[in-house]
Amino acid sequence: MQTPFPCTQCGCCCKQVFRSELTAYLDRGDGSCKYLSSDNICSIYEDRPDICRVDLQYKLFFSSKMTWDKFIEINVDACVFLQNEVNS
């Protein structure tokens, strides 16, 4: 059983969808996801786009390139970067 992605539900990734062409279509006009509510919860979480599903992205694009643990490590580093960007 793989360790789940340690998401803190801070919303920082959802507040910066403008940073990637893969998520730019979700931008509500201020850089944040149009589905992000004021309490940092995804309003369509159960039906969220595939790009927002860490485990699916790993399975589809990265499982042949790296381990799940390495993938988590890279994504946690990206998460910390985004948190620093939002909080600075």
Among candidate residues 5, 15, 17, 26, the one with its CA nearest the CA of residue 77: 5
Confidence category of residue 1, pLDDT binned at 50, 70, 90: low
In a domain, 81, yes or no: yes
Give a three-class secondary structure readout of the chain. CCCCCCCCCCCCCHHHHHHCCCCHHHECCCCCECCECCCCCECCHHHCCHHHCHHHHHHHHHCCCCCHHHHHHHHHHHHHHHHHHHHC
pTM: 0.84
In a domain, 9, yes or no: no
In this structure, is residue 73 part of a structural domain?
yes
Residue 63 lies in a domain: yes
Range of the domain at 69: 14-87
User: Based on the structure, what is the number of domains in the chain?
Assistant: 1
Q: Does residue 1 fall inside a structural domain?
A: no
Q: What is the pLDDT of residues 29-62, one digit of tens each?
A: 999 999 999 888 999 999 999 999 999 999 999 9
Residue 33 counted as domain residue: yes
